[in-house]
Amino acid sequence: MTDSPEACSMRNVPVLIGAAIALMLFMFAACTETVSAEETPICRGSVATITITLLQNGTYGNPVSNQPVEFFDQTLDVFLGLVLTDVDGRAQFEWSLPADHPLGPTVINATYRGNETLALAPSFQWTSLTVLSSTRMDIQVERSTVFPGEVVPFTVLLLNDMNLPLPYAQLTVFCNSVPITSRATNSSGWARFTVQCNDSWARLGENEIRVAYEQNLVVFNEAVAESFMVTVEQVSTSVEVTKPPLGSYGLNDTLRTDLFLRADDGALPGARLQVALDGVSLAAVLTDDSGVAHLCLVIDGIFTLGPHRLTFEYPGNSRYASCSHDISISVLSSANIRIILQGPVIVNTDSNITIEIRDLFHRPIQNATIILRDLVSNETFAGAVPIGTTSVSFSFHIVGRTGARSFLISIVGNEYVTNRTSAFSTLVWSRPDLILVRSNIRGYASPSQQIMLEVRLYDSQMAYTDTLVESWIDNTTAVSHSFTNSSGFAIVELKAPQDEGLVDTWIVYSGNLTVFRMSNTLHYTFTVSRIVPLAIELHHYTVIMPLLQLEVVLMACALNGSLLEGVTINYEWLSIRGSTESTHDGLSQLYLPVPGFPGSFILSYWTESSSYTLSCSGHFVINLNGSEVAAAQGVGITGMAASICVSLTLAAIPIIRKRYLLD
């Protein structure tokens, strides 16, 4: 495991010697300048490169080329060699140091003996080198893989370039440039280390250990360093469930299990095991002297219905690796079901129902759908419970018979509900329709006027025959009653009060509890007044073809139902104004000109107030199509008169002519 010491023997160590040669102005006159240099360390057996520069007039002159420079080991007084300067005045000499060269300082001399021909004076220069012995380090590692807390044992042998041991040499051990320990070699050049593996320097995985010997200029030994790799691993651990729990638990149940924590080197007592629910920390337990932890866990409100993952985790430490073990459980609960009906259940109508479902902790049950089944008609109705809520509302339609009815509630979509069906019963009623068919008044009545209301009582299955209906005024006084006929019709008669004002009338059917029929009420309101509003109605209109006329029949009717005679009705039609009076049946006839083109036309009207009616005004839209207008395009009254005259004239001509001939 040695490479750097031998590399030291192969490297070139450049040594620069500056030699200044004076330019000869006169024969034998010369100037010499000496330049000192620091001692340069170099190992025996390596190659030193020595470079000099030959200049005229000292250090600022021109380079002198092709001049011989001699190199000497001045300490041993040994000639080393001769080199000619190049065009730059440089001479480079490579000196291979002998393996047996004495250690310590050595002076190298470079001598230029001058050149009379070029008038160059002699000169010399020197430098000092420190000759060192290269060193070699052998490391023997006993264990390259260790666990935290153990020691890394290894021995180091330190030798010089003559393979002789270096005694009492100081060695330093590093890891990632951090010094760990140091020790000196013994008299035989050996040093034994036992480095404690701890987190001050060791990291899990590979760690580079470097042993270094620093350069020693006292005994002239070169520095050396060697490295080796140490792998730090944690001791493997595992968690075992020695008492497996059940697969499913109900809310408020207790989960009990035993956990055994072991490592490769035995059980781990006093270790903390973390218990997590679906990745969220829930509890912690400690192992006993045998490495066993006893877990007792109540399935409380932290648990929701459905599958869960329980994780038992040992976090580990610097020596022991972390580990975990998962188990799966299901949490179940019965559902608390509450039925809320929004009013009575009525056959052949839509009824609204609210169904509340909660678990034992009164929480929503997720992903639940409620199915309601009518056990009589076998029809089903469904509604999904919104996420985060505890109830669902929907409507259902009931058909069939009345009376007691049973329903079945099923909970689907969440398989963790234990009671997925539930039954309930309720009464199903029929509610008849009570409608007003017609009335002899139109919202107004005169004082003491006789009022007749025709009503009908029925449901979707039949008409109610021979059924009592009553009339009430102001919902306090029963004023009359009547029975329905075979079609469910009944005539209700009542008398308007003497006092003017608004009158509330109720037509009441009281129901029949025996056959599960509900009551019903018809509310009718009218106003008692001595002066009633007047209504002008368009009875009909028609186009009289030959006469180019539009016949319009209007009807004057008071809102108390009376047809009025003698009512003056003013009108305007195509910018033509006129008036007419109603007859005994309230009708009045208008004969109006037909427009020359088809379209929609306005007939406006207005009346004046009288002692018993109010004034009114309005308009009717009369639509005339193209065929009606075209058919009415005849000769009219004038044309008919002219046609008659012409016909009479033609008939009279033969008679006149005959009389003339006789005369």
Question: 125-159: per-residue pLDDT in tens?
Answer: 998 999 999 999 999 999 889 998 889 999 999 99
One domain for residues 303 and 367: no
List pLDDT tens digits, range 321-332: 999 999 999 999
pLDDT (0 to 100) of residue 11: 37
Does residue 57 sit in the same domain as residue 168?
Answer: no
Average the pLDDT over 105-117 and give the result: 91
pLDDT at 12: 37
| The pLDDT of residue 16 is above 60 | no
| Span 409-429, pLDDT tens digits | 999 999 999 999 999 999 999
Share of the chain above pLDDT 90, in %: 64
Burial 482-518 (b: 16+ CB within 10 A, else e): bebeeebbbebebebbeeeeebebbbbbebeeeebbb
- The answer to whether residue 655 sits within a structural domain is no
183: in domain: yes
Q: According to the model, what pLDDT value does residue 243 have?
A: 84
Q: Are residues 120 and 155 in the same domain?
A: no
Cβ atoms of residues 444 and 560 within 8 Å = yes
Report pLDDT for 265.
85
Q: Would you tell me how many other CB atoms lie within 10 Å of the CB of residue 41?
A: 15
Task: Assess contact for 539 and 517: CB atoms under 8 A.
Answer: no
Residues 122, 150, single domain; the answer is: no
For position 59, what pLDDT does the model report?
A: 64
- Which of 506, 489, 505 has its CA nearest to residue 497? 505
- Domain termination residue (choose one: 90, 116, 132): 132
Q: What backbone torsions phi and psi does residue 630 show, to the nearest 5 degrees?
A: -65, -40
Residues 14 and 51 in one domain: yes
Task: Please check whether residue 661 lies inside any domain of the structure.
Answer: no
**Position 396 pLDDT exceeds 50:** yes
Q: Containing H/E element for 19?
A: strand 12-21
Q: What is the mean pLDDT of residues 538-554?
A: 88
Whether residue 207 is found in the same domain as residue 317: no
Alpha carbon distances (Å) from 555 to 60, 139, 229, 566? 141, 131, 120, 11
- Is residue 663 predicted with pLDDT exceeding 50? no
Is the Cα dihedral 521, 527, 532, 536 positive or negative? negative
Q: How far apart are the first and last CA of the chain?
A: 178
Which range among 165-174, 323-332, 538-547, 559-568 shows the weakest confidence by mean pLDDT?
538-547
E-strand stretches of 133-236: 135-141, 145-146, 151-160, 170-175, 178-184, 190-196, 205-213, 224-232
Residue 6 pLDDT more than 70?
no
| 603 pLDDT more than 50 | yes
| 234 has pLDDT over 60 | yes
Contacts of 421 (CB under 8 A, 6+ apart): 408, 409, 410, 411
**pLDDT value for 37:** 37
Strand-pair category, 520-528 with 568-573: unpaired
CATH number of domain containing 628: 2.60.40.10
Pair (111, 125) in one structural domain: yes
Tell whether the model's pLDDT for residue 400 goes beyond 90: no
335 and 365 Cβ atoms separated by less than 8 Å: yes
Per-residue pLDDT band at 245 (split at 50, 70, 90):
confident
Q: Are 503 and 547 within one domain?
A: no
Is the same domain home to 452 and 478?
yes
The answer to whether position 502 is within a domain reads: yes
pLDDT tier for residue 634 given thresholds of 50, 70 and 90 = low
Q: Which pLDDT does position 56 carry in this prediction? A: 83
Calculate what percentage of the chain has a pLDDT beyond 70. Answer: 89
* pLDDT tens digits along 312-358: 999 998 889 999 999 999 999 999 999 999 889 998 888 999 999 99
644 found inside a domain: no
Pair 452, 479 in one domain: yes
- Boundary (domain end) residue, out of 77, 105, 132: 132
Mean pLDDT (whole number) for 496-519: 91
Strand partners, 110: 71, 125
Question: Mean pLDDT across the stretch 194-210?
Answer: 90
Query: Is the model's pLDDT at 165 over the cut of 80?
Result: yes
Domain count, the chain: 6
pLDDT one-digit tens code per residue, 438-488? 999 999 999 999 999 999 999 878 888 999 999 988 777 778 889 999 999
Q: Is beta strand 68-73 parallel, antiparallel or unpaired with respect to 12-21?
A: unpaired
Whether 30 is in a domain gets the answer yes
**pLDDT value of residue 106:** 92
Domain that holds residue 163: 135-232
In a domain, 376, yes or no: yes
Q: Do 14 and 128 belong to one domain?
A: yes
How far apart CA 326 and CA 329 sit, in angstroms, is 10
Which of 132, 158, 180 marks a domain boundary? 132
Does residue 106 fall inside a structural domain? yes
Per-residue pLDDT band for 617 (boundaries 50, 70, 90) equals very high
* pLDDT > 80? residue 30: no
Q: How far does CA 661 lie from the centroid of its chain?
A: 120
State whether 365 and 291 are in the same domain: no
3-class DSSP state for residue 239? Answer: strand
Output the pTM of the full model: 0.56
pLDDT at 9 over 50: no
pLDDT level of residue 635 (50, 70, 90 thresholds) = very low
Rounded distance, CA 566 to CA 582, Å?
A: 5
